[in-house]
Amino acid sequence: MSFDHWRRTTASILILAVFAFAVGSPVLADSSAVFSGKVFQSESATPKPGVIVTLVDPDSQKSFSSEPTNDEGAFRLDTAPAGSYMVVAETSDGAYLAADAVDLSSGDNRPVALTLTGTAPNYQSSSGTSGQQQSQLPTWAKWTIVGGIAVLALLAIDSVTDDDEKTSSPF
């Protein structure tokens, strides 16, 4: 195996490793946490069907949503990794943001009861931290950017190492 072939192989492996870390490889992700409970209408013990409960990671802005609640107001969400999340309940009347964050550990967590009170705040927190909005690229855009960088890096490596492999012609 020539030195150039070894160098090209090593560079390709390093680029693939950086690519895997950049897109958040699912192999490296934490195990899933189970978040479940019931949603009730304001000021009563009446279950609220049709509510979508969403967990939002405040750091990365990634979100994980449940199926709509059933007739008993029950929901279950088992796609989020363990961590700390803000809880949003989306109804036909609007969206409600829970006052406190929820910390989830791997596996089953204690069920919660969410009671919808007041008017729907439409995703705005009452903590006074408005004005700091982060723009989040969609997943397809991240894949496109990282893929483009990887292809350009491979082309650059190939052009640098390609000069040594060419044979000169007398004509």
Cβ-in-10-Å burial (0-12, 13-18, 19+) of 117 comes to exposed
Close Cβ partners of 51 (under 8 Å, ≥ 6 residues apart) = 39, 68, 69, 73, 75, 89, 90, 91, 116
For the chain, percent of residues with pLDDT exceeding 70: 68
Q: How much is the average pLDDT of 25-46?
A: 75
Find the mean pLDDT for residues 10-19: 71
| pTM for the model | 0.53
Strands 63-65 and 52-56: what pairing?
A: antiparallel
Q: Across residues 17-32, what is the average pLDDT?
A: 58
* Rounded alpha-carbon distances, angstroms, from residue 96 to 20, 122, 136: 35, 7, 21
Place of tokens 């107001």: 73
Mean pLDDT of the chain: 76
- For 78-125, the pLDDT digits (tens) are 989 999 999 999 998 888 988 889 999 998 889 998 888 865 444 433
With a pLDDT cut of 90, the percent of the chain lying above it is 30
First vs last C-alpha separation in the chain? 30
Query: Lowest mean pLDDT: which of 15-19, 51-55, 101-105, 119-123?
Result: 119-123
Residue 22's pLDDT band (boundaries 50, 70, 90)? low
Q: What local confidence, expressed as pLDDT, does residue 18 receive?
A: 66
- Which two tokens mark 49? 């069907």
Helix boundaries (H) for the chain: 3-22, 139-165
Q: Beta-carbon neighbour count of residue 42 at 10 Å?
A: 13
pLDDT at 72 over 90: yes
117 in Cβ contact with 146 (< 8 Å): no
Angular region, 39: left φ>0, alpha ψ -120 to 50, beta rest: beta
Contact 73, 49 (CB under 8 A): yes
Q: Is the pLDDT of residue 51 over 70?
A: yes
CA distance 125 to 2: 60
